[in-house]
Amino acid sequence: MNLQNDLLLKAARGEKTERTPVWLMRQAGRILPEYRAVRSSLSGFIELVKTPELAAEVTIQPVDILGVDAAIIFSDILVIPEAMGLPYEMVEKKGPFFPKTIHTAADVDQLKVANPEDLSYVTEAIKITKKELAGRVPLIGFTGAPWTLMSYMVEGSGSKTFSKARHMLYTQPEVAHKLLQKITDSIIYYVKSQIAAGADLIQIFDSWAGVLPPLQYEEFSLKYIRQICDAIEEVPVTVFAKGAFFALESLGKLNCDTIGLDWNMKVAESRDRIGGAKTLQGNLDPCALYGSFQEIEKATKSMLDEFEGGSHIANLGHGVYPDVDPEKVKCFIQTVKEYSSR
Amino acid sequence: MNLQNDLLLKAARGEKTERTPVWLMRQAGRILPEYRAVRSSLSGFIELVKTPELAAEVTIQPVDILGVDAAIIFSDILVIPEAMGLPYEMVEKKGPFFPKTIHTAADVDQLKVANPEDLSYVTEAIKITKKELAGRVPLIGFTGAPWTLMSYMVEGSGSKTFSKARHMLYTQPEVAHKLLQKITDSIIYYVKSQIAAGADLIQIFDSWAGVLPPLQYEEFSLKYIRQICDAIEEVPVTVFAKGAFFALESLGKLNCDTIGLDWNMKVAESRDRIGGAKTLQGNLDPCALYGSFQEIEKATKSMLDEFEGGSHIANLGHGVYPDVDPEKVKCFIQTVKEYSSR
């Protein structure tokens, strides 16, 4: 089906567009009352992820309500560990928790490479979403990066330092590599199945990139992200490695189309480091949306000015925070649309 | 009293030393069984901070046991908010918690500028420590940076995003500035009293530097760190702004002697950005101490090689983690001493 609005895909490929496309990480869920209404009818977050009709519904909400230029499938990065045999719980206000974690080579051996069929609830949600979107905007599929998924699988939950996961890199590097390869193989099957189901672009989230020293980041994270990028030929790929300022040059050499910037990264300098061949995505501070409408307009315009002269997909520098007023999000989106059409 | 080992102070001033001085952030407390023995005799962390004889005892332990080239006074960055009228609790395994937090200009008005007399338990601990050290090594005094202290005072606890504290920067910047100035004034009195009591160097910890976008970091953090640096003329000053890779050029222009690097920062590049006039401190990944003795030696030597050619104080890139074997810490220290004496 032809897309009526293909700004995101054009910008990702570095083609000229009549204006800058805009969407928000975490736009599906969190901030919309319409999302909370769907969510409250269920026992929890994971049930919503596993109910394709409802996942599709909350995926489309921000397209209808906020006017973004792309939908991103409502799901979770931790569906992969679960499909590998390591289930998790989502603890309200605390985040993910794994009752069982990975410590030894034997633990890794017991994991399986995820079978896309075990993740058919995601591909089903993609198919429903594509049908209901009817070509209005592209649909983004996504995955966690291998290092980020490994962090949770070893640590068992979120952490300020992820020192247990990093412990394994120093004490059992061969176990870490074995685990990372198994996760990577799982991810490649998974993103391929998302693309087959209709995903128009794949974003890889390396949320915990920022806890690794530069050399370890190359060895334990980039090596595997590279495999994923090399395996995807069908659609554009975006890599968002939060906190990996030290790896921008290496990220620029990946076989991908777009690099996401967080709100700490200076735009001009990042472009120099990444190189001009990539589209950049980002990077307004999510907290800027706490400001007044006037301040949001100003901050958004100033961000667009910074990205001027290179291919750009407007976004925040991190997922939108749960307590942001949807009207403020609309102001951000509207400002991008109007100001970049000049 | 003349110092028998003044390597730290010489290196901080950029003078040539016969070898690289070494100490560890968080060396006092956490890892030593001797510390835990003292700690377990008390009701909690804060009681230890407020008992000068015992604070002095645990301050000196790492000098005796580990052989570091400096002591750092055992205390907490949150003694300042408490002295300003905002008490906190230290919740085991969770971290600090403030029952009352700052939301409005009226809340800021109710705070007082900390009177050094309310912090006499720290200066008392410094005097006792200096006496008992008897010139063996220098004693480091310290403070949290204004932005980091404000983060806790507004947020009420640790946080992944500090979005409440950052909310204030966008919605009530004038309240934030008022609060930051009051904290800064308190800090200046406080560090002056530490120096008067015998502190040989002051380190400023900006632990939450990394959550701010570059422009806000200049406006809400560096501006106040600058005031503190400018106010201290008596002793060398070290600024450790964790995660502030984007501000290294500005940090290099501060009126201070040493800049701390975290383990994400590449050494050569950081030196280029900071400029050659400053001593650098750091920056081994704290998790490297989970490795074998042989691997620790290798990683430590490789770190020393990276810092070769400029003034350097060896340290980790963050506080030592609580579950590190003290023998591994000794291996790190010994390797620095031997390898840098070549």
Residue to substitute from A170, A242, A316, interface B, most B β-carbons within 10 A:
A170
Signed CA dihedral, B245, B249, B253, B257: sign only: positive
CB contact under 8 A, A264 and B295: no
Model confidence at B267, pLDDT cuts 50, 70, 90, reads very high
Is B274:B307 a contact under the CB 8 Å cutoff? no
- The confidence score (pLDDT) of residue B1 equals 66
Report helix, strand or coil for B234: coil
Cα nearest neighbour of A264 on chain B: B213
CB contact under 8 A, B212 and A321: no
Residue ranges covered by each domain of chain A = 7-286+311-322
Predicted complex ipTM: 0.95
Residue B234 CB coordination number (10 Å):
13
pLDDT per position as a tens digit, B60-81: 999 999 999 999 999 999 999 9
Look at residue A131 and tell me whether its pLDDT is greater than 90: yes
pLDDT per position as a tens digit, A234-260: 999 999 999 999 999 999 999 999 999
CB contact under 8 A, A287 and B160: no
CB contact under 8 A, A213 and B263: yes
pLDDT per position as a tens digit, A180-233: 999 999 999 999 999 999 999 999 999 999 999 999 999 999 999 999 999 999
Give the CA radius of gyration of chain A. Answer: 19
Contacts of A79 (CB under 8 A, 6+ apart): A49, A119, A122
Tokens of B295: 């691997």
Q: Which CATH class is domain A7-286+311-322?
A: alpha beta
Signed CA dihedral, A236, A241, A242, A245: sign only: negative
DSSP per residue, A174-243: HHHHHHHHHHHHHHHHHHHHHHHHT-SEEEEEETTGGGS-HHHHIIIIIHHHHHHHHH--SS-EEEEETT
Residue to substitute from B151, B162, B168, B264, interface A, most A β-carbons within 10 A:
B264
Active centre residues of B (catalytic):
26, 30, 39, 76, 152
pLDDT per position as a tens digit, B224-258: 999 999 999 999 999 999 999 999 999 999 999 99
Is B8:B21 a contact under the CB 8 Å cutoff? yes
The answer to whether A263 faces chain B, any CB pair under 8 Å, is yes
The answer to whether A166 faces chain B, any CB pair under 8 Å, is yes
Residues of chain B contacting A248 with CB distance shorter than 8 Å: none
CATH fold of the domain at B7-339:
TIM Barrel (3.20.20)
**CA–CA min distance B196, chain A (Å):** 36
Cα nearest neighbour of A208 on chain B: B160
Rounded Cα gap, residues A184 and A149, in angstroms: 10
Closest CA to B311 of B10, B6, B38: B10
Cα nearest neighbour of A270 on chain B: B246
Q: Which amino acid is at B92?
A: E
CB contact under 8 A, A210 and B264: yes
Q: Which of B160, B291, B321 lies at the smallest CB-CB distance from A171?
A: B291
Closest CA to A146 of A236, A237, A209: A209
Is B217:B254 a contact under the CB 8 Å cutoff? no
Look at residue B205 and tell me whether its pLDDT is greater than 80: yes
Model confidence at A92, pLDDT cuts 50, 70, 90, reads confident
The answer to whether B19 faces chain A, any CB pair under 8 Å, is no
CB contact under 8 A, A246 and B265: yes
DSSP per residue, B17-39: -SS--B--TT-SSSS-HHHHHHH
Q: Which amino acid is at B302?
A: S
Q: What is the DSSP letter of A115?
A: P
**Sheet with B139-144: strands ordered across:** B71-72, B139-144, B201-206, B237-241, B258-260, B279-284, B312-316
Please, what is the end-to-end C-alpha distance for chain B in angstroms?
30
Tokens of A322: 């749960």
Residue B218 CB coordination number (10 Å):
15
Q: Which of A171, A318, A321 lies at the smallest CB-CB distance from B290?
A: A171
The answer to whether B93 faces chain A, any CB pair under 8 Å, is no
**CA–CA min distance A298, chain B (Å):** 12
Active centre residues of A (catalytic):
26, 30, 39, 76, 152
The answer to whether A293 faces chain B, any CB pair under 8 Å, is no
**CA–CA min distance B305, chain A (Å):** 15
- The confidence score (pLDDT) of residue A1 equals 66
Residues of chain B contacting A96 with CB distance shorter than 8 Å: none
Binding-face residues of B in 103-142 toward A, CB within 8 A:
none
Is B191:B232 a contact under the CB 8 Å cutoff? yes
The answer to whether B208 faces chain A, any CB pair under 8 Å, is no
Rounded Cα gap, residues B28 and B73, in angstroms: 8
CB contact under 8 A, B290 and A161: no
- Beta-strand runs (E) in chain A: 71-72, 89-91, 95-97, 139-144, 201-206, 237-241, 258-260, 279-284, 312-316
Residue B99 CB coordination number (10 Å):
9
* φ, ψ (nearest 5 deg) of residue A92: -50, 130
Rounded Cα gap, residues B71 and B64, in angstroms: 10
Please classify residue A172 by burial: count the beta carbons closer than 10 Å to its beta carbon, then call 0-12 exposed, 13-18 middle and 19+ buried: middle
**Sheet with A258-260: strands ordered across:** A71-72, A139-144, A201-206, A237-241, A258-260, A279-284, A312-316
Closest CA to A284 of A239, A310, A316, A246: A316
* φ, ψ (nearest 5 deg) of residue B147: -60, -45
Q: Which of A160, A212, A295 lies at the smallest CB-CB distance from B170?
A: A295
Contacts of B278 (CB under 8 A, 6+ apart): B14, B252, B256, B257, B258, B259, B311
Q: Which amino acid is at A240?
A: F
Rounded Cα gap, residues B315 and B285, in angstroms: 9
Look at residue A155 and tell me whether its pLDDT is greater than 70: yes
Please classify residue B244 by burial: count the beta carbons closer than 10 Å to its beta carbon, then call 0-12 exposed, 13-18 middle and 19+ buried: buried
Q: What is the DSSP letter of A90?
A: E
DSSP per residue, B157-169: B--SS-HHHHHHH
- The confidence score (pLDDT) of residue A93 equals 83
The full length of chain B comes to 342
Count of CB pairs separated by less than 8 Å, A with B: 79
pLDDT per position as a tens digit, B271-317: 999 998 999 999 999 999 999 999 999 999 999 999 999 999 999 99
